[in-house]
Structure 1
């Protein structure tokens, strides 16, 4: 299951009147429950559990990813594009699927996944968002070219916050 699919499910559950949702397919379990304790700030809590591979290595533990996000309507803070860039309406926004810390590279010693002007494919990893000690790879979602990076390395990002602007092909 791709992160984009999980994002879509979170949005649908948040916008619906259902309080709980669970889904299981091919060893992957997704369970989401709305936080009913504070109705003024609805929150969707989701948990993704992936079964271990058919022939796991002796040291390969079961992967568990837990994501908590608060998909509330909040103003989004973005930097304005420079005068030479195309208008933001023509650009695809890559949004953060969760609250966490944005990282441009897999480790401090390595180069950033992408820079302004980098050509990307839809399934290419463009950054990592760390949430609760789990590093979640974020994909470009579209084929195109990175037009602008809207956040700084190590910056805290919110659910739904734009991370990149991509000039789609």
Structure 2
């Protein structure tokens, strides 16, 4: 089965291409993606007999080999990020898989930066998933010690986004 990062890369490539439908079967698993106007639909299912093959409906430029070093670089960044581990620091984590945005729009300032004070209901960022922009709240009162992800970075469910020194 493909790893989540590989599936994301495929989704990104299909989204940027003119492919309308993509099917991938391998080791008893099947992934089928279809684009409908402004959205991409992804479905996965288990199939009885393994039939390893990728069947794109239209030809896409081969970009997968160029994307893999980027995914590896992101993984290294993620593992090196939590450098200020401390017992009294609270981690604000991502409640979903999506894209991290530090500000409400590209031309506006970030919701929070290192050193900013936050309350329980303070919005600290947005995580965009499937064209829905979800505001993430601090849920604790304190001070932002470190921002652990970059603007526009893909984040996983449960991935730490901020370290907060609680009051």
| CA distance in structure 2 between the partners assigned to 1:78 and 1:158 by the alignment | 15
Runs of 5+ consecutive residues of structure 1 not aligned to the other structure: 1-36, 39-75
Instruction: State the Cα distance separating 1:99 from its structure 2 match.
Output: 0.2
Aligned with 1:77: secondary structure?
helix
| CA distance in structure 1 between the partners assigned to 2:162 and 2:119 by the alignment | 14
| CA distance in structure 1 between the partners assigned to 2:137 and 2:90 by the alignment | 13
After superposition, the CA RMSD in angstroms is 2.0
Q: 1:31 is matched with which residue? A: none
Instruction: State the Cα distance separating 1:138 from its structure 2 match.
Output: 0.1
Q: 1:152 is matched with which residue? A: 150
| CA distance in structure 1 between the partners assigned to 2:150 and 2:131 by the alignment | 19
Give the aligned length. Answer: 94
Instruction: State the Cα distance separating 1:89 from its structure 2 match.
Output: 1.9
Runs of 5+ consecutive residues of structure 2 not aligned to the other structure: 1-44, 47-77
TM-score normalised per structure 1 = 0.52
| CA distance in structure 2 between the partners assigned to 1:164 and 1:156 by the alignment | 15
CA contact (8 A) 1:103 1:128 kept: yes
Moved over 3 A (4+): none
TM-score normalised per structure 2 = 0.52
